[in-house]
């Protein structure tokens, strides 16, 4: 079995982003970037399935500017066997919509013929949460979204537990299928120094969107990016009775 894992380079989750004064986006220059946390989990799951000898090969894919190669090297250090980088200008990558990521991933899936495609449930920058579903729709494959447990059942089937509103749901999917990772799926490993060194020699193929016959057409135009309304601290109350008085004054209890 082969797994394809899509990983995205995003601003590190611990960074407090700043909106640019000209309202065109957020400040990305000289800001720590790393692999999207949900993608790390998706990758970890594929690597664990490889360690259980269910999967033979893990292929990591990333779309983006040349710096995305760092993210792919991280993926290789964490256990991916090889990587595909679909390179595009930073300006294009900035505006690329999940639909076009999904279109390129579909083409890659057609040549690589994976049995499972793992993605994070959403990227923490655009917060779209669409790519996995769009890809499953384009391929007409089953989709197991927000997975918290992935278990092989037979040569052709997997049982996936999904985190849904208000609880959990268990489904059986036939391969080939698309799985998106929830935070609960696993605890991703750290890349060790020897593995980081080894990753430098693993194959990394470079491609362009045009290689897949995909023209990137923007359907969603960003008009402006603004700061959310600021909240101000309302200050302290002395004790519980004055808290109750204040709550009643505000009409919320």
Partner 1 sequence: MDYRIIRERDENRNQKILFFLKHIAFRFNGTLVLAEHTGDKLNPITLSAVSAASKLGEISVLVAGTNVTKIAEQVAKVEQVKRVFIADHEKLKHQLPEYVAKAVETLQKQYKFDHVVAGASTFGRDVLPRVAAQFDASPVTDIIAIHSDDTFSRPTYAGNAICKVKSNAPVKFLTFRGTAFKSAKESGGSGKIEKAPETDFSFDGVEFLSQELLKSERPDLQSAKVVVSGGRAVGSADNFKMIYELADKLKAAVGASRAAVDAGYVSNELQIGQTGKELYIAIGISGAIQHTAGMKDSKVIVAINKDPDAPIFEIADIGLKADLHKAVPELIKAL
Our finding on whether 98 is near partner 1 (CB under 8 A) is yes
The vertex-47 CA angle with 44 and 48, nearest 5°, equals 85
Q: Is 63 left (phi over 0), alpha (psi -120 to 50) or beta?
A: beta
Choose which of 3, 4, 11, 83 interacts with partner 1 (CB under 8 A): 11
Binding mask 149-188 for partner 1 (x = CB under 8 A): ----------x--xxxxxxxxxxxxx--x------x----
Q: Is 58 left (phi over 0), alpha (psi -120 to 50) or beta?
A: beta
Our finding on whether 102 is near partner 1 (CB under 8 A) is yes
Could you tell me how many residues of this chain bind partner 1 (CB under 8 A)?
Answer: 75
Rounded to whole angstroms, how far apart are CA atoms 209 and 190?
31
37/79 with CB nearer partner 1: 37
27/210 with CB nearer partner 1: 27
Rounded to whole angstroms, how far apart are CA atoms 62 and 96?
13
80/136 with CB nearer partner 1: 136
Binding mask 185-224 for partner 1 (x = CB under 8 A): ---------------------------------xxxxxxx
210/237 with CB nearer partner 1: 237
Q: CB–CB of 142/136 below 8 Å? A: yes
Number of CB atoms found within 10 A of residue 150's CB: 22
Choose which of 83, 134, 185, 216 interacts with partner 1 (CB under 8 A): 134
Number of CB atoms found within 10 A of residue 91's CB: 9
Our finding on whether 36 is near partner 1 (CB under 8 A) is no
Q: CB–CB of 66/87 below 8 Å? A: yes
Choose which of 86, 135, 179, 216 interacts with partner 1 (CB under 8 A): 135
């Amino acid at each position: 079995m082969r797994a394809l894992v899509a990983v995205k380079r995003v601003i590190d989750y611990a960074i407090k982003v700043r909106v640019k004064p000209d309202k065109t986006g957020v400040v990305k220059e000289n800001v720590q970037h790393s692999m999207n946390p949900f993608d790390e989990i998706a990758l970890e799951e594929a690597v664990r399935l490889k360690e259980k000898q269910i999967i033979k090969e893990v292929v990591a894919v990333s779309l983006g500017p040349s710096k995305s190669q760092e993210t792919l090297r991280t993926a290789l250090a964490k256990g991916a066997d090889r990587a595909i980088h679909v390179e595009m200008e930073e300006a294009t990558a900035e505006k690329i919509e999940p639909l076009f990521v999904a279109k390129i991933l579909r083409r890659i899936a057609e040549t690589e013929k994976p049995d499972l495609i793992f993605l994070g449930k959403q990227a923490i920058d655009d917060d779209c949460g669409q790519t996995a579903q769009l890809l499953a729709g384009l391929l007409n494959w089953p989709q197991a979204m927000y997975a918290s447990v992935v278990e092989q059942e037979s040569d052709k089937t997997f049982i996936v537990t999904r985190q849904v509103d208000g609880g959990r749901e268990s489904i059986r999917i036939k391969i080939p299928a698309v799985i998106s990772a929830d935070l609960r799926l696993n605890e991703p490993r750290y890349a060790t120094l020897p593995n980081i060194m080894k990753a430098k020699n693993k194959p990394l193929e470079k491609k362009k969107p045009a290689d897949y016959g995909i023209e990137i057409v923007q359907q969603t135009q960003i008009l402006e990016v603004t700061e959310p309304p600021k909240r101000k601290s309302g200050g302290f109350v002395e004790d519980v009775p004055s808290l109750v008085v204040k709550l009643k004054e505000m009409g919320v209890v």
